[in-house]
Amino acid sequence: MTTLYQLPLDASSRFVRLVLAEYGQAVHLEQEKIWERRREFLALNPAASVPVLKTDDDLVVVGPNPIVGYLTEVHEDRGAPHMPTDVAARAEVRRLVDWALVLMEHDVTAVLVHEKAEKRGIPANLGGGPPDTSAMRIARDNLDWHLDYIGHVLASRDWLAGERMTLADLAFAAALSSLDYLGEVSWADRSVAKLWYARVKSRPSFAPLLEERVSGVIPPAHYDDPDF
């Protein structure tokens, strides 16, 4: 079976898990503690990042864009779901996926996931320790702006990239689900974004993510409620 090396709160790992589930492809999950720099894993990906996909034929695909590009191309003959065929629409999907998984990842998600959750499980000599509250404060300020932007986009569209659900919705929902697990999203004053997130989160592909728990970190009560 295909194996996905991943981390439970990593936004890009969640994105790939959602896409695999949407494409109906079963996968074996391996939690990869990248800070341990395991030799066998570095042989797969010298950059020591997740997600990494390894297929039955030992094809190794590294990183969210390559993995999802690969899955989309493999499933294209069945009409790959969630990627439009029009070139302009595809460009818009890619812009938003990069926004969620590069820009927002760098400004917000990676910081809060690392400081609030991952550092607890990392030995001090490998970079663990108490959270950097100054970095967290900046990330939280940044999150406000990203949530504003999601609301701005959804003011004129049913889904982030247009009239249909696409990979862009899965990428942003993946990142927000990690932040929501950590109790970092103030949904109260975000009604448009909240309704959109509730629609994505209600999909069967989302259920396994919402059921999963990370050791030592308890999500807020609404986290796994599709009608929150």
- Identify the residue among 17, 82, 94, 190 touching a copy of itself (CB under 8 A): 94
DSSP 86-148: SHHHHHHHHHHHHIIIIIHIIIIIHHHHIIIIIHHHS-GGGT-SS--HHHHHHHHHHHHHHHH
Count residues contacting a copy of itself (CB under 8 A)?
28
- Identify the residue among 24, 37, 47, 192 touching a copy of itself (CB under 8 A): 47
- Identify the residue among 5, 15, 41, 99 touching a copy of itself (CB under 8 A): 99
Tokens linked to 191: 């009604």
CA dist 103 and 140 (Å) reads 14
Q: Between residues 44 and 210, which has the closer beta carbon with respect to a copy of itself?
A: 44
Q: Between residues 62 and 182, which has the closer beta carbon with respect to a copy of itself?
A: 62
Q: Which window, 3-11, 35-43, 57-65, 202-210, contacts a copy of itself (CB under 8 A)?
A: 57-65
Contacts with a copy of itself, 150-179, as mask; x by CB under 8 A: --x---------------------------
Closest by CA position to 32, among listed 60, 51, 47: 51
Shortest spacing between CB 220 and a copy of itself, in angstroms? 29
Give the pairing of strands 28-31 and 3-6. parallel
Contacts with a copy of itself, 126-155, as mask; x by CB under 8 A: -----------------------x--x---
CA dist 89 and 92 (Å) reads 5
For residue 53, CA distances in Å to 8, 44, 140, 141 come to 15, 9, 31, 33
Sign, Cα dihedral of 216, 221, 223, 226: positive
Q: Which residues of this chain interact with a copy of itself, rule CB under 8 A? A: 46-47, 49, 59, 61-63, 65-67, 69-70, 73-74, 87-88, 90-92, 94-95, 98-99, 102-103, 106, 149, 152
